[in-house]
Every structure is written in structure tokens, then in C-alpha cells.
Structure 1
Amino acid sequence: MSEELPRNHPPIVSPEAWRTAREAMLVKEKALVRARDALAAERRRMPWMAVEKDYVFDGPDGSATLLDLFAGRRQLIVYRAFFEPGVFGWPDHGCRGCSLGADQVSKLVHLNQRDTTLVYVSRAPQPDIARLKARMGWEQIPWYTITDSFDADFGVDEWHGHNVFIRDGAKIYRTYFIDNRGDEAMGSVWSYLDLTPLGRQEIWEDSPEGYPQTPPYKWWNWNDNYDAEDKPDPQWVAVTDAGEAAFRDPDAPVKA
């Protein structure tokens, strides 16, 4: 790769001019964040579609229904990944785009703490999926085999995409769907939760009355420590309280 800068790169300026430019850009970035939060709030108010059909998948432990994929949690996100005969890369790899997405998936334990499960589904048989997961380091992702019309019924028979569901007991509802460019940003806890009907479930969010919400930051934990605490550690509570104060007062000291 060339080590030369592009010919039409931006001007080189003083630290003071750089800070001025950065502050001007920050105004636009904050507006974008507020607009994204408002869009997520609208998404939480979208109508739901009842799932009337029974779907069955093959999993590492045998047959599984769509309800089983929730793993007992309230919300479910299903990503349709292309790994099957006829897809470029088969049988050694999945679709390059889907594989890039899988590489971005963060530790799912944090998503699970918000009562949300993420799974991948493909047409490939389970032995091939297990082999691919081991080769690519994707062992944390629950990955099932589509056996029926799930992909065609939910708009992912010809292209990748994320379908979002919520359940009321055994009754399942489809709440949202994204594909194409919408898939690019997926992978973080926040990008997934912002697609769900319950959102991040923090008190600052604009959600319908009665939705589950907890104070921000307090529920955060190390990925290996959630089971060890039945309530937030007092020291962490103090840190997050100080952090929130610092957001309101830029001159307030805060230590992690």
C-alpha cells in the first residue's frame, strides 16, 4: 500500500484551529445521536405482527422451534447468514459479508443481560456450521439450520438481514427487520438493543409507559462477572454516579 497522503487531503492547522473545527463537528454529531435516539423511540412504537406459523430449526442439540431460539428470554434477534452450497466460499467459508458481520459480534452475555438473545441461522447442516464456527472463532454465536420456509417468509431467502421478535409466553411477534446497509452497523450491544421493541431499557430512553427500565450504567459488568452479583457493586454505583455528574459538569473530576 502507498505511504503517500492523498493529494487533496484537508489542511494542516494549529491545535487551536483543530479544536475549533472539532467543536463545530461535535455539534452535528450530537444532533445525529439525538436523531438516532428519536428514531429508536419510534421503532419501539411500531406495530407488531403475530407469527402464526410454526418454524423448526436444526441445532447442535437437535430440533428447535422458533420459541426455543429465545432461550427463555423475552426478545430474539435472528440474523440470516449465507453459508450453504452455492454461496461463494462454500464449504470452507460463509459469505464474505456475513462473515465480516460475524467477526463484529460482541460478547453476547451483555445482550443477554437485557433479556435478549441473538442467533444466526443458515441453510448449511449443523456439522458444517460447527466446523465453520471453530475455524473462524465464532463459538459464542448460537447458530441454527433453517429447515423450512422461515427465510422466505421473513425476507431473507435471497439476502441477509436481521429479524427481531418478542414473545408473550409462547406467543411470538415480529417487531422489526433490517437488511442491506442497515446490517453494516450491527455487532455492538447498543446496535442490537436499539432494534428491539424494549430498547436499551434505561430510564433516559423515550419508551411507552410501563416498559422495563433501569438506571443507566448500573447494570454494566465484566463479561465473566454477571452471575457473581445479584445487584450492582456499591463502588461501581459511585463511579457511575460521578460519571453522570461529569456529563452535566465538564469540570467535575471522575475516576474509573
Structure 2
Amino acid sequence: MRMPEAVTPAEWNKAHEELMAKEKELTRAQDRLAAERRRQPGVRIDAEHGFTGEGGRFSLVDLFEGRRQLIVYHFMFAPGSKRPCSGCSMFVDNLGDPAHLNARDTTLAVVSRAPYPEIAAVREQRGWTVPWYSSFGDGFNEEMGVTVDDNDSFGLSVFIRDDTSVYRTYFTRGRGVEKLGTNWSLLDLTPLGRQETWEDSPEGVPQESPYAWWRLRDEYGD
């Protein structure tokens, strides 16, 4: 197995500082991209989509759980699938407690085409608690572009609502999903962002001091 080149502490520090400079520039570039993302237009979802989840039937607005923003992971799990997608499963395995997203007026949910009993069995088997809904018999996947000619792919969509009017503001797939999973990376995809004063956001986006909203997950309250 290849091992790193052995160098002196001074040589290591020099190489490390050069790498850190590149990483900081990447972080700044990502911040600029997030600022542009917060200014992206949205497409209104006019179709009356219906979903089945734990507790019954739900509309797209219901998936927001009363919050203003919704992040949906499109999980590759078609009707009759023998096993869940390994890559999608890895993504869900890495999701943290939703309390931190909820504190930023954001809900996270998973949607697949399989009937809900098939979804519920996998959800229980894997020990997942994230809300996972079935769009079986509905055209939601097709409208989102993740099902074409009955073939599924995975991806992640971001929505914002104004009362009952829902707009899709962002979508990513493939390697665009790989770097996601932390609350910060998911919030950076939304129109409202982290809602901290250092962010370059459009006028009207709520903001407060950095870290002011951070809590232990059981300290947010209702």
C-alpha cells in the first residue's frame, strides 16, 4: 500500500498551509455559489400531487409539516424492488437529527415510487426515522425528472411555499448529492440559507447573528 512521503515538520507545515489556502478559496467560492443559489427563480408546482406515508394520505403542502421550506430526497425504490438502492441507503444513513433543520423552518423528507407497505418494511428494517413517503400512482417523480420511461434515478429537490403555493427552487443529482448530509450543507441549498447575517442573501430573507440559533437538538422546544 502506498504511504505518504516522509518529510520534516517544517516541510509538512509548508505543504499544509499551501493546501489550506486552496481549501479556504474553495469555501469562499462555495459561499458565492450559495448566494447565487438563494437568488434562483422557482417553478410553481400546480399539479395536485398525493403521497402515502405513516398515518395516511398527504398533499405536497402536507409534506412541509407547517414549515416554509421542504427538502425532498428522491430515493430510488421502484414498485416491486427486491432491495433498496445502496447509494440512496448510504445517503439516508448519514442524515442527522432533523431538529436543526426544523429550527430553520425547513423539513426533510424522502419520496419513492414503491407502494407504502414496501417502503415501511425497509424503513423499519433499516431503523430510519426520516419521513419517507410513497408517490405510487402519482406523477410526482416524472414531473421532477427522476423517473423517465419507468426508469428511476436519484436526486434532491428543494421547495418553498407561500401558504398553499409551492415552488421548486433547486435540484441536484449524481455527485451533486455526494457532498450533502450535514444540516449546513442542506441549508445552503435553500432559498433562505442558514439565515445568518454573514450570508449574502436577497432582501427580505430573515437573518440573525451567527451561532445564535444553534442548540442541542433537545433544546429547540416545540
1:186-234: CA deviations, max 9, x gaps?
2110111011011111100000112111111121111112118xxxxxx
Identical-residue share of aligned pairs (%): 51
1:56 aligned residue = 50
**Structure 2 contact 79–115 (Cα < 8 Å) conserved:** no
State which of 111, 116, 136 in structure 2 corresponds to 1:121: 111
User: 1:94 offset after TM fit, Å?
Assistant: 0.6
Provide the TM-score with structure 2 as the length reference.
0.94
Aligned length: 217
Structure 1 position 153, deviation (Å): 0.5
Per-residue CA deviation, residues 74-111 of structure 1 (Å, 9 max, x unaligned), is 00011110123454xx1xx3111111111111111111
The residue identity in structure 1 corresponding to 2:177 is: D
Write out per-residue CA displacement over residues 41-90 of structure 1, whole angstroms, 9 at most, x where no aligned residue.
00011111111111000111111000000000000011110123454xx1
Q: What residue in structure 1 maps to residue 176 of structure 2?
A: 182
Match of 2:144 in 1: 154
Distance, in Å, in 1 between the alignment partners of 2:90 and 2:196 is: 30
Task: Describe the SS at the equivalent of 2:35.
Answer: helix
- What TM-score results when the alignment is normalised by the length of structure 1? 0.82
Deviation at 1:156, TM superposition (A): 1.0
Task: Indicate the structure whose relative CO is greater, using CA pairs within 8 Å and at least 6 residues apart.
Answer: 2
Q: How does 1:199-214 map to 2 (within 5 A)?
A: 199-214=193-208
Q: CA deviation at 1:126?
A: 2.0
Q: Do the aligned residues in 2 keep the contact of 1:104 with 1:186 (CA within 8 Å)?
A: no
**1:66-145 correspondence to structure 2 within 5 Å:** 66-85=60-79, 87=81, 90=82, 93-139=83-129, 141-145=130-134
Long gaps (5+) in structure 1: 229-256
Q: CA RMSD in A?
A: 1.3
Q: Distance in 2 between matches of 1:178 and 1:84?
A: 20
- Runs of 4+ aligned residues of structure 1 deviating over 6 Å after TM superposition are none
Question: Residue 11 of structure 1 aligns with which residue?
Answer: 5
Aligned residue for 1:206, secondary structure, equals coil
